[in-house]
A and B are shown apart, each in its own frame.
Chain A
Amino acid sequence: MDGIMTQNSQKEKLSGKDLINIGIYAAIYLVIMTAVSMLGFIPIMMPMLAVLCPLVGGITMMLFFTKVKKFGMITIITVIIGAFLWVTGMGYWPFIFGIICGVLADLVARSGNYTSKKKAVLSHGIMSITIFGCFLPLYLDINGYFATRTSFGSEYIEALTKIFQPWTAPVIFGCSFVFGILGALLGQHFLKKHFEKAGIV
């Protein structure tokens, strides 16, 4: 296997092993994320996901970042995470966010040559903004949406608009970024404490 690796690492193109690695880490990340989402299954708790998912997901991602050597890997994994959120019913915004944040995160990581730890932390922060896409449909055109539900009475519309006030949007946005960075720091702590010792990195 080492022979294949050295053979391919000279080229910029992603090898089969890189793509399989992306799949494996995406699977681990998404299982953990789904488990965390189950904790916040009470819909009122949903905004908390912007805090918990980046925080816990940081551990997996930091391990993944040690395997990243070429441009494109971070982009693809973020797009896949976004697509998964779309497919599991969070709307198409996470997918669009996934593409944008993925490319940005990849560029940041590349500027650190995929070895800089600080750039990796920042890159994970940008990646985590993808989560914000899940909440965007709640803010976009909220009146237009509830206009179609007049059968529930005007009080209902009023109350729901009150819960999703526009000012909470930037808060969730900021949370996903800040906790993405904190999660990455936590991940690097674990990396040093456990995975380097176990010889995985």
Chain B
Amino acid sequence: MKLDRGILMDPRTKLLILITVTTFALGGAGGEATAKMVPVLCMVPFVLLLTAKRFKTALIGIILFAGSSLLLSSANAHNMGGFLYYMILGCCGLLGRFLPCIMMGRYLMESTTVSEFTAAMKKIHVSDNIIIPLSVMFRFFPTVMDEADSIGSAMKMRGISFGGKHSSKMIEYRLVPLMTCCVNIGEELSAAALTRGLGGKVKRTNICKVGFHFQDYIAIAICIVPWILLIMDVVK
């Protein structure tokens, strides 16, 4: 499934980009000093998604982002007022603010394999107490979603869905079976993981080659600029 993954980056670089984008594009740190960098940073996730050949996700993101900014500027240009204007402002303002970060998150999750992630985390000396739950979690996500899907369609037949006859029972009738089967699968998974030596006292090895390349240095250079601007602004 992940044969053609486009340009690969080190997971640590991806984390750095994510931190930079959330800090400056969402958090608005640095105020006017870094304001000029914000549009550049907002574009970075979309470019990255394109390099990873996630064209559909990138396209949806770009359309949403461009649409919300266009709608906002046209609403401002026409001097709209009243309730509708506030709705547009609220929706588009939030969307424009959160979307680049959400897209960056999507990119990080979709373009990184669990082994690569584990290897990178080991290199920055994160404790095993965090790495093991995280790798189990990433491994377990597709299973949970698969089960939720099957349970959802089974319950739809009984009218327990949105707009169905018994939509009020949704929480109980969907979550309880989901959790029951996930816990059972989890028991098996943990037995399997323990037989492969997870949680043992020996050091585990990893065959993934993680390291910085040309594309990583470019990304790091782009990320460092707003931080320098921020520091200069504070020092001044």
Q: In the complex where A24-B182, A156-B89 touch, is A31 in contact with B132 (Cβ < 8 A)?
A: no
Bound: A26/B144 CA distance, A: 11
B134 touches A152 (CB 8 A): no
Number of A residues near B (Cβ < 8 Å) is: 60
User: Is there contact, CB below 8 Å, between A23 and B140?
Assistant: yes
Chain B residues within 8 Å of A42, by CB: 91
Number of interchain pairs (Cβ within 8 Å): 186
Q: Is there contact, CB below 8 Å, between B130 and A80? A: yes
Is B28 touching A145 in the complex (CB atoms < 8 A)? yes
User: In the complex, what residues of A have CB within 8 A of residue B113's CB?
Assistant: none
Q: Does A24 lie within 8 Å of B175, measured CB to CB?
A: no
Q: Which residues of B contact A200 (CB under 8 A)?
A: 180, 183-184
> Judging by beta carbons under 8 Å apart, are A46 and B27 in contact?
no
- A44 B91 Cβ-Cβ under 8 A: yes
Q: Interface SS of chain A: helix, strand, loop or mixed?
A: helix
* Interface size band for B: 35 or more
**Is A6 positioned at the interface, with any CB of B under 8 Å from its CB?**
no
Cβ proximity bits B181-201 to A, threshold 8 Å, 1 near / 0 not: 011101001110110001110
Binding site for B on A (CB under 8 A): 1, 4, 14-17, 19-28, 30-32, 35, 42-44, 46, 56, 59-60, 63, 72, 76-77, 79-80, 86-92, 137, 140-141, 144-145, 147-148, 152-153, 155-156, 159-160, 162-163, 190, 194-195, 198, 200
User: Which 5 A-B pairs rank lowest in CB-CB distance, beginning with the nearest?
Assistant: A16-B199, A23-B136, A89-B101, A145-B28, A89-B102
17 A-B pairs with CB atoms under 8 Å apart are A1-B194, A4-B194, A16-B198, A20-B132, A24-B190, A27-B140, A28-B140, A32-B175, A76-B129, A76-B130, A80-B133, A87-B108, A89-B104, A91-B26, A91-B27, A148-B28, A148-B32
Interface positions of B (Cβ within 8 A of A) = 18-19, 22-23, 26-28, 31-32, 35, 38, 72-73, 76, 79, 85-87, 89-91, 93-95, 98-106, 108-109, 128-130, 132-137, 139-141, 143-145, 148, 171-172, 175-176, 178-180, 182-184, 186, 189-191, 193-194, 198-200
